[in-house]
Structure 1
């Protein structure tokens, strides 16, 4: 592993083509250019983070060597031909086209309690079931979110005209780096390539379907609108995250802190979520699992996003997002 900690990101410059950036400190190096300068065996591809995840073990080792080379070569930045800072570039979702995105529902105790207080349960039995987190009885609850909902960390969140209750949910996302099927929890982190900040934006009033009362929650309509998955700005390799449970998840709306809890307060750990998901379907490199949101969503207090709001979300150490909320132009 490299002595130099680095991040990866996917960026564009002036509307140009997307490229992978190697991020060391505040400097963003165009990966293809520094690999060419390196002149030795580099990653199998620099086309995209998704493509590098297809052979992540070898490619991570190669990236470590490249990062050491950049940090220790002693050249001035001008010699690299592609050095920038985040403010110079447009941040795109680190993984542009993940095969699938699996999200955890009701995975923090405080969030479960606030949703119950907001009237999520329709009767006492449902309330008791939601509060029961006995793992001998209860399995993780997951849903699929469309990858087309992805946007970059500084892109707009667009409120659809059908919804008056669009909400925020800061989350820790992980990316799979090896094909996984029926992986036990104790080995699950061996299949994780890295982590990202994300915001599981949700249209609460679209989740409830009074026209289909017996079918209950509409995850597709509530979760998969365009722009409802700001991701990034960075992809941080797992090797540089000693313990994901210590990552602090924070979210602010117009400067006011709404969410502020460590990832370690999950009910079902990232390992247990991988075990559960891989028992249903094979996980492949580039798949994203978003691990749930802590207490502090707007629905708990009946407050929601509106055009003009600014949402700042961060999983500490993975990069901060800042998204403007706008109404859909129809």
Structure 2
């Protein structure tokens, strides 16, 4: 069975299930231990994230103690530590808002334009791709990010089985780097934006392709509610990696494999709008709150471009440099639509 790999950083946060409910946990290597409110210094994870660097310093000290107390066999004297494989990991965040960024990877958008070419379009495919590339370059220079809203109820742990609704056979993957907000951000500048980032996590933004555009009234445009908000359509985590451990979020490698075959392989260097630009633009309209997720977009290599969409039994492994990996297993829906 494929299992998630831990983050390659000194420590991270996670949430896991216990008989008493979900609890936050400190992750060091391939081990995890629960964190009490006293250790967090806050009654909830979101309040911890709002506290900024001082809160992370406290967790760093706990992680250092764990490393210092490690035995040669990888165990520690602290019995609270458990192997990651011994717990059920949940989504590492509890967002009140989920903002999703559309059309934010240059190559991805070019691929989508090519895949969606109208049957009566006389242009050769390379000419169409060149046109889309010029459009994206102009948008990066002169345009603004494109946001839409996801439902927090769709945020689940990656260990939860992804059920594929039977009203479509066009469910697709979209691996994304997600920004986790720390202190509230409202109308912040690009220069100040990164001070509001608590950390990063992995999200697979599942999309039902044939529901993206309305067929009954095409002038309405996109229907992101129906295309992206089925139960479990935002597998998240399993780890929340503090921003201090990611030197350059604008240069991270993302890969997604489907049943062992690489489908997405890109870096965040292909983003049209970088993270400071996204935070500044998103916070202009509505305050971003501690624990909120801001998805940065998905790179090229989605199923629609490969001509291979999700099926019962598929296993996706999404990996982002420094953040570890998530394993998502797809299955046919148990409850018919």
TM-score by length of 2: 0.87
Is the counterpart of residue 158 in structure 1 residue 163 in structure 2? yes
For residues 1-330 of structure 1, the aligned pairs below 5 Å read 5-13=10-18, 16-32=20-36, 42-45=39-42, 48-73=44-69, 77=75, 79-95=77-93, 97-119=94-116, 130-330=135-335
Deviation at 1:69, TM superposition (A): 2.5
Q: Distance in 2 between matches of 1:234 and 1:267?
A: 26
Deviation at 1:165, TM superposition (A): 0.4
Cα pair distance change 1:135/1:261, threshold 3 Å: closer
Which secondary structure state, in structure 2, belongs to the residue aligned with residue 246 of structure 1?
A: coil
Deviation at 1:287, TM superposition (A): 1.0
Q: Distance in 2 between matches of 1:56 and 1:204?
A: 39
**Unaligned stretches of 5+ in structure 2?**
1-8
Q: Distance in 1 between matches of 2:117 and 2:108?
A: 11
Comparing 194-203 with 58-67, greater Cα deviation is found at: 58-67
Are 2:316 and 2:328, in contact at CA under 8 Å, matched by a contact in 1?
yes
Which secondary structure state, in structure 2, belongs to the residue aligned with residue 307 of structure 1?
A: coil
Deviation at 1:48, TM superposition (A): 4.4
Q: Distance in 2 between matches of 1:107 and 1:18?
A: 34
Deviation at 1:121, TM superposition (A): 7.5
Deviation at 1:154, TM superposition (A): 2.0
Q: CA RMSD in A?
A: 2.3
CA deviation digits over 1:150-199, x for unaligned, max 9?
11122211111112100001110011101111111122111100000111
Deviation at 1:132, TM superposition (A): 4.7
Are 1:43 and 1:58, in contact at CA under 8 Å, matched by a contact in 2?
no
Cα pair distance change 1:67/1:133, threshold 3 Å: same
Which secondary structure state, in structure 1, belongs to the residue aligned with residue 266 of structure 2?
A: strand
Q: Distance in 1 between matches of 2:92 and 2:118?
A: 36
Are 2:257 and 2:316, in contact at CA under 8 Å, matched by a contact in 1?
yes
Are 2:66 and 2:76, in contact at CA under 8 Å, matched by a contact in 1?
no
Are 1:10 and 1:48, in contact at CA under 8 Å, matched by a contact in 2?
no
Are 2:69 and 2:76, in contact at CA under 8 Å, matched by a contact in 1?
no
Deviation at 1:82, TM superposition (A): 1.7
Deviation at 1:251, TM superposition (A): 0.4
CA deviation digits over 1:7-34, x for unaligned, max 9?
1100114x552111111111112222xx
CA deviation digits over 1:26-70, x for unaligned, max 9?
1112222xx87xxxxx4323x543231132333112112222223
CA deviation digits over 1:129-149, x for unaligned, max 9?
853534443111111111111
Which secondary structure state, in structure 2, belongs to the residue aligned with residue 110 of structure 1?
A: helix
Comparing 289-298 with 318-327, greater Cα deviation is found at: 318-327
CA deviation digits over 1:263-284, x for unaligned, max 9?
1211100111001101111111
Comparing 166-175 with 180-189, greater Cα deviation is found at: 180-189
Which secondary structure state, in structure 2, belongs to the residue aligned with residue 58 of structure 1?
A: helix
Q: Who is 2:6 aligned against?
A: none
Which secondary structure state, in structure 1, belongs to the residue aligned with residue 54 of structure 2?
A: helix
**Unaligned stretches of 5+ in structure 1?**
37-41
Comparing 161-170 with 49-58, greater Cα deviation is found at: 49-58
Cα pair distance change 1:310/1:73, threshold 3 Å: closer
Cα pair distance change 1:19/1:245, threshold 3 Å: same
Q: Who is 1:39 aligned against?
A: none
Are 1:101 and 1:147, in contact at CA under 8 Å, matched by a contact in 2?
yes
